[in-house]
Structure 1
Amino acid sequence: MMWRERAEVRIGISGMPGVGKTTLVLKVAELAAKKLRVCGFVTQEVRERGVRIGFDVVDIASGRRTPLARVGTGEPSVGKYVVFLGACSTISEALRGTCDLLIVDEIGAMEFKCPGFGSDLERAVYNSPKVLAVVHRNYTNLAESLGFEILWLTRDNWSTIYNQVVHRLGLA
């Protein structure tokens, strides 16, 4: 498969927790939706009384929200979170969408607990002309092997990286 040659732009956003990776991707997706068909998924924190208790997956095209992980014990797990494999179908469906800009948030350990995530991701990247992904810092080498340019996000460079992404995706 010649997937590496298909996408015009593949941008991966990585950085430490709490620097605004998902926020950046959501703002870019909102801007892009004015010009392009946007699909994919985002992973959003779930908080209870100000404390993060887990994550939900949201399909960008349909708005479908599915629990991905919660604090607890059980398998499969990533750190203190139990991953709900029921969310895998939401992720897989979101990666099968047809669009001009594919959003993937994130390429990380929880998503890779889903059977077939790697092949679904590879297929989606091949079939999408533009891809913007949040890449967990431990998965940057994998993303680079898929042809992603990795941009390291910090609180200090957030605006600069946002503007760079908007420009690279032709949204400016």
Structure 2
Amino acid sequence: MTWRERAELRIGISGMPGVGKTTLVLKIAELARSRVKVCGFVTVEVREGGTRIGFDVVDLANGRHMALARVGRGEPSVGKYVVNLEACNVISEALRRECDLKIIDEIGAMEFKCKNFGEDLQTALHMSPRVIATVHRNYIDIAKKLGLEIIWLTRENWGLVFRQLLIQLGLTQ
């Protein structure tokens, strides 16, 4: 039996910026915690005076928090953001941790600046029975090749997608 046959759930959530991809996976993780072991990571916006200045990565298992990227000049960069390669350790550890539900936020350009991200991602998908990942719209083809079923999230379908994922995870009464 291959890992794809063993998998209970492999979902990739994609959509335009600001539709609530990270919010969706955070709410699912919060609800799932009372029933299953949740791990993985999320990237959260960092704002200063109402302006986004970067992103932090947060390990969902232990709360470890580190700057992933900040506006500035330097390498490696993604758009106007400089990626902090030290944060790759937080991402790597979160991906290698065993649990019942793995949250990956996100599969995108900043994460792929991490030397071992692709390999750690494949390992995470192999080890975890249930995975919900957010996927940058430019990385949908990669996510599909990794075996993720892609759902396109919009503001209009957010509630429906949320409810469907809760049902698929067995988190509804």
TM superposition score normalised by structure 2:
0.97
Aligned to 2:62: 62
Corresponding residue number in structure 2 for 1:118: 118
d(CA) in 2 for partners of 1:116, 1:25: 23
Contact 1:6 1:128 in 2 (8 A): no
Query: What is the match of residue 7 of structure 1?
Result: 7
Computed over aligned residues only, the root mean square deviation of the Cα atoms, in angstroms, reads: 1.2
Aligned to 2:169: 169
1: CA distance, partners of 2:108 / 2:171: 27
Shift, 1:3, TM fit:
4.0
Distance 1:104 1:72 in 2: 25
Residue 136 of structure 2 is matched in structure 1 by 136
Shift of 1:167: 1.1
Amino acid at match of 1:92: S
Q: Distance in 2 between matches of 1:145 and 1:167?
A: 25
Quote the residue 2:72 is aligned against: 72
Q: Which amino acid aligns with 1:20?
A: G
SS at 2:18 equivalent: coil
Q: What's 1:85 paired with?
A: 85
Percent identity, please: 68
What is the distance in 1 between the residues matched to 2:170 and 2:46?
32
Structure 2 portions without partners, runs of 5+: none
* CA offset digits 1:107-149 (Å, max 9, x no partner): 0000000001000000011000000000000111111111111
Flag structure 1 segments of 5+ consecutive residues without an equivalent: none
Deviations 1:23-67 (A, max 9, x none): 000000000001000000000000000100000000000000000
Q: Which residue of 1 is the match for residue 25 of structure 2?
A: 25
Q: Which amino acid aligns with 1:93?
A: E
Kindly provide the amino acid, as one letter, of the partner of residue 138 in structure 1: N
Checking the alignment, whether the CA contact within 8 Å between 1:6 and 1:127 is kept in structure 2 is no
Show CA shifts across 1:141-163 (max 9, x none). 11111111111111111100101
CA distance in 2, matches of 1:82, 1:40: 23
> How many corresponding residue pairs?
172
SS at match of 1:85: coil
The normalised TM-score by structure 1 is 0.97
